[in-house]
Structure 1
Amino acid sequence: MNEQQLEDELVAYVDLLSDPRDPDKARRNCGSCINLLKLMKRLCFLPEKMQLAAMTNICKRSKYVDNQVCEGVVREQGPVLRRVLRTMDISGKDGHLLCASVLNTCPYPATEPWKLPFPKLKPENPYMHKRSNKTMTVLHLSDWHVDPQYEAGTETFCTKPICCRSESTDFNNILSEASPWGSFGCDSPLALIESMLEYIPNAAPNTSFAILTGDIPPHEVWETLPTYKTQMIQDMSYNLLHAHFDTSFLINTTLYPAVGNHEAAPTNLFPLRDSDLPSGARHDDFSMAWLYHALKENWKGWIDEKHLNRIHQQSGSYVSYPVDGLKLISLNTNFCYNLNWWLYERPKKRDPNGILEWLIGHLQKAEDMNEKVWIIGHSAPGDPSCFHDYSNYYYQIVERYAPHVIAGQFFGHTHRDEIQIFYKEGSQKAEDAISVAYIGPSVTPFPDLNPGFRTYTVDAETFEVIETHTYITNLNESIEWSRLPLWYKEYSAKDLYGSNDNPYTPLSPAWWHHFTEEMELNNNKFDQYWVNRYKSSPLTPECDFVCRVNTICGMRAGKSELRCDYIPSEPTNRPIILNRKDKDACGISLLTKEFRQSNATL
């Protein structure tokens, strides 16, 4: 097969697997995905310039992706794919894992069994903190995706992953003009973020501390390089955050951030310590050393110096103490992320960069000191984008150290207002629920959500969440705003979801599980959760029976293999329902407007 024939065949496979008109057909076509990867691997043995040119041409010929986006994505991601694909066993687990986790076209490979070693056995009668009569307030921000190129009056519908920019606007033929405060299908203008930061002291005037669970840069996946461009956006954003959080008459509290997949340039690509990085001057930034150094500078004043100095050593993860008795552990969860191509490089690692071992060490110290722990990160372990193996191992850690040590988990990434529940001993019963992961709503309205943020009312002794409050602004009403966006409280979880039929302590893991049981029996309960999940967006999708089953299943899936929306490789007792109507907020959709809600984030 010559190069032209190879390219023609690749285009045919790409069209088959990316055609939005028939996604179910693509999901059934595992063989096509494997063949596509085999041909892609062949391309990777050509000289790099020829490989990248061929990949760019294939992308452009596929009809579904903007040409400029094709050129940029291949230019930035292609050199890493070149290194990684050449090491992969395409016909074996490697190829099937990529096809399953990214495109859902193959059965998901069975989890590789590994019983994590712990320093000590779980105590039979661990020290349990007693609930107090005192509470504190914690602020949760996530996924603000500020776009410096956002411009009011530009087009909200375009062929790029994000719109509302002059470069993607035909000013002689605008279908829908971007609002000064933000628009569906676009990332956040600076004005929207500033209005939110100015409103927060009204919503939470006495905030004890705050968390930011990742993703500051925009979804500009085709133009993240040179790295100083992405770093400049982050530097600007953290300067703004410091101005509000470090000022006595504004928010006036400490912010603890986590690393999102969009913090990297190129997007998603966090190499391991022993990754085979591309050589040459144009690839010098692939190590992410620039990012860890920038985060160290941007986080000064919030994190103790001794922990800041270890940011690079721990791949952006760190520990800190927001208040006495509470240890906060910030994890770089991008070593679980299915679009971090470095994770497919053979030989694979069970614990990339030793982050899980590091986490266990700090949890064990907390147990020995009778401390409570919060874990924050970007992608939750129950998200479909988190590898089943890694998620399984993380789940073992939660089972070992919850509920007596781990008092809370907080993530972002999906852009929605969600929760995930963890259980012990393979159960999914209320009495066996041991931990809850809170998924923070995004500030960005991308793809079709209202902007939002959340606060928690927390017991000051046990550090358990006993109430949540979600705040939003309704972009559909922006034309009526006279001066600034109108932010308001959308709902409180205990007030809205509570009932006399729920016998458990409000917002405990058991309480949340019982709520999912009520959702199964009561359509009104489900509908309340569904609307809030999308922050009352007028573009909230319909949710049929299949969607409802998958949503509740996902709420009970603290690890991703417990989800119901993928093809298993082995028999399972869980429901398997693939034709979901509810798609993830950030999908392969980032390549084109029509794909805005599919299954993975580039």
Structure 2
Amino acid sequence: MAAAALLSQRVLADAANGDLMHAAPGQSSFTASAGYPTTAFSSYYPSPSGQQPQPALYDPVLNITFPRNLTNPDTIPDHDPDPVYFPQPVANLTMSEQEAVIESALSDISEIINSSYIEGNCNKCVAGLQLALNAAQLAPSLVPDAMVSLCTSSGFHSASTCNEDFDARTFGAIWTQVLALADVDTTKLFPKPKPVNASRPKPSGERVKVLHMSDFHIDPRYKVGSEGNCTSGLCCRSNVENEDLSTGDISYPAPLYGYYQCDTPMPGNLSMQMSWNYNHVAGLWKHEGWIDETAEQQARVHYGAYSVKNHYGLRMITFNTDFWYHSNYLNYINTSNPDVSGTFDFMVQELQAAEDAGERVWIFGHVLSGWNGEDPLNNPSDLFYQIVDRYSPH
């Protein structure tokens, strides 16, 4: 979807480099150029003939032009300079005492996994998490390596995937925070009961056209010809491979205009998709005139959900359905609070206002609740559908 959406833009921006063929009145098709597109950006760094052109990207917030190395597909950094944060330990233990805590926890958790005296995986999970909570509170900096060790020794994943998932600089430190800070809470949202005779607003009968564009995933280090069907990591990059094939063999070379398994190969202001640049993105939104200074300050520190009523009287609400993805590990700090972000409370207030005013509402989300609709967190997903059921007129 991402590649298709961006390619539709390329039809407009790069038509001069290809051929527009009219199949029928009001219809047209586009044949893309066989060469690399070079009109999407105002300037490019010099590149040898036949190599991917690298755009010279100017950032209006930082007032700098990013160096060529930032988007070079052959110079992917292997060191993450971002700081790693652990929760504060609840006791001042020596390093040897912390190591003893971790060793004991690993031994006990391994015994729980292989035990026959604890019935059911759920009970084993709860028992193991109690031990992990203690370890995360007493020896937080040692927990990521312990998780990698447990992951590999139990055969939960391959060694490379275990490191990718639980190393301190990926998700290990976040998991440690979750284990140490987990808490519970509850909330009630609905200000009014559902009307007994709820009915949908009468349609105007006027037909309107709607264009919904989404999924502009961007990878500045996408490399044409690299492995599109890699077995781990971000595919279509020079540093990944398909481990099922001989070294150096490629099962599917990444094509010029993107691939289904990869992000689209067109760099842009939001190209660093693996970093959390809330301040920077908020600044870019303000620079483009999308939001004012007050909204910029709010966007820096708050969760996002938005509502607008268009000139047809349709109220449109959009929110982050990815938030409750089971791999958004920070959700586990408040597992029984289905609305820790306050997004649903905002949605309920908007829906209540729409119901009181007799308005129609469209709710927009990136995907089904929990990213793919199959493995979301249960409580918030259930609450979302309760909200839909409450305010649906049928």
- Residue 164 of structure 1: aligned partner: 236
1:56 and 1:74 in contact (8 A); partners too: yes
TM-score (norm 2): 0.57
The Cα of 1:174 is off from its aligned counterpart by 0.5
In the alignment, which residue of structure 2 is the partner of 1:41?
Answer: 133
Offset, 1:327: 2.0
1:346-495 mapped onto 2 (5 Å cutoff):
348-381=336-369, 383-403=373-393, 434=394
Aligned-pair CA distance for 1:138: 2.0
Q: Verify: 1:294 aligned to 2:287, yes or no.
A: no
2:163 to 47, 54, 70: 70
Cα distance in 2, alignment partners of residues 305 and 324 from structure 1: 25
Q: Which runs of 5+ in 2 are unaligned?
A: 1-99
- The 3-state SS of whatever aligns with 1:168 is coil
Given that residues 351 and 357 in structure 1 are in contact (C-alpha distance below 8 angstroms), is that contact kept between their aligned partners in structure 2?
yes
How far is 1:291 from its partner?
A: 1.7
| % same residue | 26
3-state SS of paired residue (1:318): strand
> One-letter code of the match for 2:203?
K
Shift of the alpha carbon at 1:402? Answer: 2.1
Are the equivalent residues in 1 in contact too, given 2:186–2:337 (CA < 8 A)? no
Provide the alpha-carbon RMSD of the alignment: 4.2
Residue among 249, 253, 257 paired with 1:178 = 253
Equivalent position of 1:52 in the other structure: 144
Q: Give the TM-score normalised by structure 1.
A: 0.39
- What is the CA–CA distance in structure 2 between the aligned matches of 1:347 and 1:183, rounded to whole Å? 36
Q: Give 1:532-547 correspondences, 5 Å limit.
A: none
Match of 1:190 among 265, 270, 295: 265
Residue identity in the other structure for 1:174: D
1:129 counterpart letter in structure 2: K
CA contact (8 A) 1:69 1:160 kept: no
Matched letter for residue 148 of structure 2: T
Compute the displacement of 1:52 (Å): 2.5
Distance 1:50 1:341, change over 3 A: same
Q: In the alignment, which residue of structure 1 is the partner of 2:227?
A: 155
Q: Give the deviation of 1:325 after TM superposition.
A: 0.9
Q: Which amino acid letter does the alignment assign opposite residue 235 of structure 1?
A: N
| Preserved contact between residue 235 and residue 298 of structure 1 (Cα < 8 Å) | no
Q: What residue in structure 2 maps to residue 594 of structure 1?
A: none
| Equivalent position SS for 1:160 | coil
Residues 336 and 46 of structure 1, relative CA distance in 2, 3 Å threshold: same
Does structure 2 retain, via aligned residues, the 8 Å contact 1:264–1:291? no
Taking the TM superposition and a 5 Å limit, the aligned residue runs for 1:510-525 are none
How big is the shift at 1:328? 1.6
Do the aligned residues in 2 keep the contact of 1:116 with 1:393 (CA within 8 Å)?
no
Q: Return the alpha-carbon distance in structure 1 between the equivalents of residues 286 and 208 of structure 2.
A: 23
Structure 2 residue matching 1:80: 3-state secondary structure: helix
Aligned to 2:174: 80
CA pair 328-393 structure 1, distance change in 2 beyond 3 A: same
Contact 2:137 2:180 (8 Å CA) reproduced = yes
Residue 362 of structure 1 deviates from its aligned partner by 1.6
The answer (yes or no) to whether the contact 1:319–1:329 under 8 Å persists in 2 is: yes
The 1:373/1:299 distance shift into structure 2, 3 A limit, reads: farther
Distance change in 2, residues 1:77/1:157 (3 Å): same
**What's the secondary structure of 2:330's corresponding residue?**
helix
Distance 1:373 1:41 in 2: 43
- Taking structure 1 as reference, are residues 320 and 293 closer, same or farther at Cα in structure 2, changes over 3 Å only? farther
Distance in 2, Cα, partners of 1:154 & 1:264 = 20
Post-superposition offset of 1:70: 0.9
Q: Which amino acid aligns with 2:355?
A: E
